[in-house]
């Protein structure tokens, strides 16, 4: 008799993620209605933002790699890392991504690319020195889960309308003012659009951060399932977190833009939980410990 899968279901996480996406959708519908009401201007903004989002999606991985000082390495240059990623790919049923290494002391890892076929996973030299092979395997499995879940694509699409709203808010004066032509100075529909955009921008920002946190939990869970070793990832997170605190502030700020798909975000003093892209470490470790208990058969799945 086949026994049930080793890990239980993650119904709570799934519900929170679905509700967040639903709310995002709701907010965006309001924006689209306002855009359409604003007529030609609104649609133009949407098209421009769409183009920028597409550009971002297709060109960002190379830029991001360059910004991190990361370099794609051949199997001969990093045999251990390649062999590790290859085995995880067999296990996760993924095509092999490109493997990159960033030469920095900061212990971190991240994944890039819109689809599994074009993905790149990157580890820093710092993380490879800091972690044991089993812990590093957990971290790479976390990144591969981001790839499998297409998190870059999901977050770019989820942020698409938020980007439009941001553009409208930022350039509201250009569109609301001169471009409209002489006698139509106080265009009421555009004022409404500006107001709606502002609200959409704020609300969607908070929702996006929440969504990002849920996807981190999902990636942690995925990593635990792929490796079968939740405790190894928990131990890696503890080490990285304590390692991060010792790194000078300058390094961290330089990395600010790239944080979304890091295994662990660069610490920035006290950020309120609401604005964080990553869940607090204690919560991530608690979730991993629950998975370990399920695996060991201590909790009913």
Partner 1 sequence: MGFLDILRGKRELKQPAPDRLFAMSTAYVKLEMELHLTSTGKAAIVFQPLATADFEQLVRDMEEIVRSTGSENEGSVKSSDDEHGYRWMIITDRDFEDLVVGVNAVSNEIQGGGYGDRILAAVFAFRDEKDRPLYWIYNYKRGAFYPFVPSGGGQQRDNERELRLKAQIGQDLPVEPELERWFPLWGIPI
Q: Is 289 in the site for partner 1 (CB under 8 A)?
A: no
Can you tell me which of 49, 100, 139, 148 binds partner 1, judged by CB under 8 A?
Answer: 148
Measured from the CB of residue 157, what is the shortest distance to partner 1 in angstroms?
10
DSSP-derived secondary structure letter, 121 = E
* Sheet of 98-102, strands arranged across: 70-72, 98-102, 120-124, 109-112
Residue in this structure with the two tokens 């971002």, named with its chain if needed: 56
Contact segment (CB under 8 A) with partner 1 among 119-127, 200-208, 223-231, 238-246 equals 223-231
Q: Is 284 in the site for partner 1 (CB under 8 A)?
A: no
Please give the residues from 90 up to 109 whose contact with partner 1 meets the rule CB under 8 A. 90-93, 95-96
From residue 42, give the alpha-carbon distance in Å to each of 3, 118, 265, 271.
Answer: 56, 33, 35, 34
Can you tell me which of 36, 58, 86, 286 binds partner 1, judged by CB under 8 A?
Answer: 86
What's the distance, CA 73 to chain centroid?
Answer: 23
Distance CA 219, CA 18 (A): 16
Q: Is 4 in the site for partner 1 (CB under 8 A)?
A: yes
Can you tell me which of 114, 221, 278, 290 binds partner 1, judged by CB under 8 A?
Answer: 221
Q: Is 89 in the site for partner 1 (CB under 8 A)?
A: yes
Task: Enumerate binding residues for partner 1 (CB under 8 A).
Answer: 2-6, 14, 17-18, 21, 75-76, 79, 82-84, 86-87, 89-93, 95-96, 117, 133-134, 137, 145, 148-151, 154, 214-215, 218-219, 221-222, 225-229, 295-297
């Amino acid at each position: 008799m086949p026994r049930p899968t080793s890990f239980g279901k993650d119904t709570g996480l799934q519900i929170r993620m679905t509700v967040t996406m639903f709310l995002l959708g709701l907010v965006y519908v309001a924006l689209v209605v306002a855009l359409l009401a604003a007529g030609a201007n609104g649609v133009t903004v949407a098209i421009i933002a769409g183009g920028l989002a597409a550009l971002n999606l297709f060109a960002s991985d190379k830029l991001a790699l360059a910004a991190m000082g990361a370099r794609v390495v051949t199997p001969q240059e990093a045999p251990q890392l390649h062999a590790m990623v290859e085995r995880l790919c067999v296990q996760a049923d993924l095509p092999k991504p490109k493997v990159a290494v960033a030469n920095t002391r900061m212990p971190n890892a991240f994944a890039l690319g819109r689809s599994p076929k074009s993905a790149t996973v990157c580890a820093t030299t710092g993380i490879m020195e800091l972690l044991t092979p089993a812990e590093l395997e957990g971290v790479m499995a976390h990144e591969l889960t981001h790839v499998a879940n297409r998190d870059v694509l999901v977050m770019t699409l989820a942020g698409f309308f938020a980007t439009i709203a941001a553009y409208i808010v930022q350039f509201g004066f250009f569109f609301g003012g001169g471009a409209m032509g002489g006698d139509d100075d106080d265009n009421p529909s555009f004022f409404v659009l500006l107001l709606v955009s502002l609200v959409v921008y704020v609300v969607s920002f908070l929702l996006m951060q929440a969504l990002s946190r849920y996807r981190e939990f999902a990636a942690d869970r995925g990593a635990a399932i792929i490796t079968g070793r939740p405790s190894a990832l928990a131990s890696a997170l503890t080490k990285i977190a304590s390692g991060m605190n010792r790194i000078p502030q300058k390094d961290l700020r330089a990395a600010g833009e790239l944080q979304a798909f890091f295994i662990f975000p660069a610490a920035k003093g006290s950020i309120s939980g609401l604005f964080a892209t990553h869940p607090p470490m204690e919560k991530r470790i608690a979730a991993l410990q629950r998975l370990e208990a399920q695996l060991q058969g201590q909790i009913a799945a």
